[in-house]
Structure 1
């Protein structure tokens, strides 16, 4: 068997690093898988150079980044890779497995700031009005859409929501987000009304006698996947004739942008979204300013 035919075996340092990352930061499975993928791809490159991850210098990392550039990888992909390598080698230094961090002098590529796609308030109204509440599945979806827009939850937080996290009487939902950080988010009257209507009949129809603590089960009575709900959003957008490019976080973005458009304090929006860093929330101020500039241009006599 030639070297190229041998099955790949990941460096044994990778999994302990991921375990440490999970225990310290409580990262999601998706985030950990992204770290794993980045490190394994780099590890394969290193092994082809007959080296090991402990025996890596700046030059080899730069060679790998150059190879990726020639292969047409996006800057965003390389930026994430550098972040993964930086965390990994910082871990190795902390564990005293290496003396010098080879990533410390590697600079992140400059990325253009991409404003998140957002819906207008009229678009949101059309989207949220589209599901037919006489159908149990669409009644569930309407309650989910209302809750998503009212609270700014991540889709993963929404589909994983359990009955004990929600208090309709108090109008609050308790979320354990990224890094196991807990936050309380208000639901709003419209969302509470739609959820109450859904719980009164549609949820029972979906569960078909099964026992579940998931607020919004699938038609099989189990927890819905993020992908399934994403397809449901696209279906309603198509039916409502909404041409804006949608992402799984579109309603989360609309939640933040519309709050700021109506004068909400940036730090309040930060708390509601569950952002640990205010700079992450600040991108929405650019969306809000862009929308205000557009309105001024359209309606001011000298715009």
Structure 2
């Protein structure tokens, strides 16, 4: 593979400057890329001149690292080589020779039905009056667990997304993709109590000053509620409630494709992670519903 007249360190800094200028990468991201790239260069020498045999050294050097760490380091190098290829610094991409660890997607944490009930009981008791703060917490809880919204989707909901006639929210998810999300009758009822007492003059359903409630504040409110409900604060987050929404729907017999649509997943492989938590129900379903379930074994 052809090398470069410029040193490897200079090329790395050029690449990092591009990340900052063209992609708006944060300072912490730039620092992480620099560590990974310079660490790889310490092992194989000039990265721009490294060939397949050189890159094989990385697999041995990274052998004791966690798969996720190896994946991150390889990703940094692939992007670096893609940049060099675009710039004409190298004539062939050595990226395919980089280590590709098999990473396992972490299993989602969930709340069981009893914990969800305790959380709602606490929130409902606190929201019996018309005080805005507890009503807001109850509405957010209803939409996180009842509709499976992401934290960012929830806090940034515009007031115009609230259903008038049809029981649906229009949600803008990742990548700017809009989807329709059903809203339970319970949530509609609490929304009708929340809207008259919320801060007026804001375009957001959950206003905070001139903007909307932050994700950080949402996390804090949920953890405080969990503590009052006797649930360890470490066990709860907006994403845990979204996981519970998905898992409990599967337990109730929801179709995986329907769940994919409700969660706004672009790839059903992302949705399939929820199937592991329902294995006991699936075994029971086969034993109870399969045509051979009631047929006795012959002697």
Alignment of 1:32-181 (within 5 A): 36=30, 38-45=32-39, 54-55=48-49, 57=51, 74-90=66-82, 92-93=84-85, 96-131=88-123, 132-133=126-127, 134=129, 135-181=131-177
CA distance in 2, matches of 1:195, 1:60: 61
CA distance in 2, matches of 1:10, 1:141: 47
1:236: Cα distance to partner? 1.4
Does 2:243 correspond to 1:253?
A: yes
1:279: Cα distance to partner? 0.8
CA distance in 1, matches of 2:69, 2:151: 23
Unmatched tracts of structure 1, length 5 or more: 1-7, 23-28, 297-303
Match of 2:4 in 1: none
1:60: Cα distance to partner? 6.4
1:65: Cα distance to partner? 6.6
1:34: Cα distance to partner? 7.9
Does 2:203 correspond to 1:225?
A: no
Q: Residues 39 and 157 from structure 1, CA distance in 2 versus in 1: closer, same or farther, beyond 3 angstroms?
A: same
Is the 2:168–2:181 contact (alpha carbons within 8 Å) kept by the matching residues of 1?
yes
Unmatched tracts of structure 2, length 5 or more: 1-9, 287-299
1:101: Cα distance to partner? 2.1
1:262: Cα distance to partner? 1.0
Does 2:13 correspond to 1:11?
A: yes
Deviations 1:237-285 (A, max 9, x none): 1221225833441011011111111111111111111111111110101
CA distance in 1, matches of 2:149, 2:13: 37
Give the greater-gyration-radius structure (CA). Answer: 2
Determine helix, strand or coil for the equivalent of 2:95: coil
Deviations 1:218-241 (A, max 9, x none): 3x4532221221122111112212
CA distance in 1, matches of 2:135, 2:258: 30
1:125: Cα distance to partner? 2.2
Is the 2:167–2:183 contact (alpha carbons within 8 Å) kept by the matching residues of 1?
yes
Match of 1:183 in 2: 179
Alignment of 1:228-239 (within 5 A): 228-239=217-228
Is the 1:11–1:43 contact (alpha carbons within 8 Å) kept by the matching residues of 2?
no
1:54: Cα distance to partner? 4.4
Identify which of 217, 231, 241 aligns with 1:242.
Answer: 231
1:199: Cα distance to partner? 0.8
Alignment of 1:259-274 (within 5 A): 259-274=249-264
Q: Which piece of structure 1 moves more, 251-260 or 13-22? A: 13-22
CA distance in 2, matches of 1:85, 1:215: 43
Q: Which piece of structure 1 moves more, 153-162 or 275-284? A: 153-162
Q: CA RMSD in A?
A: 3.6
Query: How many aligned positions are there?
Result: 273
CA distance in 2, matches of 1:245, 1:294: 28
Q: TM-score, normalized by length of structure 2?
A: 0.74
Match of 2:3 in 1: none
Deviations 1:52-104 (A, max 9, x none): 7645555666666766666xx53323323433443453455456553222221
